[in-house]
Amino acid sequence: MSARVSTVGFFFQFMPRQQSEAMLKEKVHDFWNQQSCDTQAAQSEKFSKTYYEEIEQFRYYDQPFIHSFAQFTRYSGKKVLEVGFGAGTDFIQWLRAGARVSGIDLTEEALQNTMRRISAYDLPRPERLELSDAENLPFPDNSFDLGYSFGVLHHTPDTGKALRELVRVVSPGGELKVMLYNRHSVWALQLWVKHALLRGRPWRSFRWALANYMESAGTKGFTRKDLLDLFSSLPVHELRIRTEVTSADSLASSGFPPLNWIYRILLYLAGERRRWDPLKYAERFNTPTPRLVKAGRGVEPTPALFTGNRLGLYHCITARKDAG
């Protein structure tokens, strides 16, 4: 895949932006339409109850902080939109919690997975569940109490536009919860070492490594500065960004075992500790600290609270839409 993606990326730069983004979006669709996120962990018959249980076990073992980040049970009776529901693992948590949830995804595979999953567990019907594009949401302004998207918007060509759309459909005073990849992560470092440094092309960037070797074509990672720039132009406040370590960061399978110790030492120095208690995630996330950063130039400054391990792969972002 990598050589082919690199070649496509080379030709994209000579196309009009609209055309190149349409082609990239088609590639993203085709990649995820082959297999929804986390379904590779399931060994049982597809669409069976055991199949879905295996997916759920894997997801929340690998990313135990999702429940503390999403806080599903807080949204009972609230209107929630999930952008990019994939195999439906988080989506059914909203249903179980009693939320009035709607969802969109780019792929037919995700829609089929989630509809069958809802049926397998005999869960309540969602308000809306349909195929759509994160950059063009089919909902009126101010429709939801929460806009949620976990690990999706870094795959769409225009992430900024997708964020603007998510803010648009959230009601004033409503919340946004988004996970985006961190370009300055140990995982991005090991991709660069494996596909750039050890292959004699050290001039290649982390951005290039993620775009060509991380899941679908064109995958992006965002630095802390990138996030400040993205959110400073949006009508939001209470911006909080916690960067989390997953098993991918901890293992950092480089194909060159001695480097794994370097990755682990870097994570430790950046703040990872063993026996971390995921139940304290929300408490630490919501506890004010002096680490506030003022963002924005020429616009109203957006205070941003950064916590977590700055070398982790997952930026877990929360914000609140301005009231009117």
Could you tell me where the beta strands, DSSP code E, fall in the chain?
79-83, 100-105, 128-131, 144-150, 170-181, 236-244, 292-295, 302-308, 314-321
d(CA 308, CA 69): 12
283 against 169, higher pLDDT: 169
- List all residues 6 or more positions away from 292 whose beta carbon is below 8 Å from its beta carbon: 303, 304, 305
**CATH value at residue 89:** 3.40.50.150
Asked if the model's pLDDT at residue 204 lies above 70, the reply is yes
The whole-number pLDDT of residue 254 equals 54
The answer to whether residue 209 is domain-embedded is no
The answer to whether residue 256 is domain-embedded is no
The answer to whether residue 162 is domain-embedded is yes
253 against 184, higher pLDDT: 184
- List all residues 6 or more positions away from 245 whose beta carbon is below 8 Å from its beta carbon: 267, 272, 308, 309, 311, 312, 313, 314
| Edge-to-edge strand ranges of the sheet holding 170-181 | 128-131, 100-105, 79-83, 144-150, 170-181, 314-321, 236-244, 302-308, 292-295
pTM, rounded to two decimals = 0.86
Residue 13 confidence class, pLDDT cut points 50, 70, 90? low
The answer to whether residue 287 is domain-embedded is yes
The whole-number pLDDT of residue 289 equals 38
Asked if the model's pLDDT at residue 182 lies above 80, the reply is yes
The whole-number pLDDT of residue 252 equals 57
Which token pair is 255? 């194909």
276 against 59, higher pLDDT: 59
The answer to whether residue 130 is domain-embedded is yes
The answer to whether residue 37 is domain-embedded is yes
Spatial CA neighbour of 310 closest among 192, 205, 223: 223
Domain count, the chain: 1
Residue 283 confidence class, pLDDT cut points 50, 70, 90? very low
Task: Name which of 116-120, 124-128, 190-194 the model is least confident about.
Answer: 190-194
Residue 207 confidence class, pLDDT cut points 50, 70, 90? very high
Tell me the average pLDDT across 69-98.
98
Residue 282 confidence class, pLDDT cut points 50, 70, 90? very low
d(CA 56, CA 39): 9
The whole-number pLDDT of residue 51 equals 96
Q: Domain range spanning residue 96?
A: 2-183+217-242+275-321
Residue 16 confidence class, pLDDT cut points 50, 70, 90? low
The answer to whether residue 252 is domain-embedded is no
The answer to whether residue 259 is domain-embedded is no
The whole-number pLDDT of residue 6 equals 47
d(CA 140, CA 171): 10
Between helix 108-120 and helix 89-96 the angle, nearest 10°, is 40
Tell me the average pLDDT across 282-302.
42
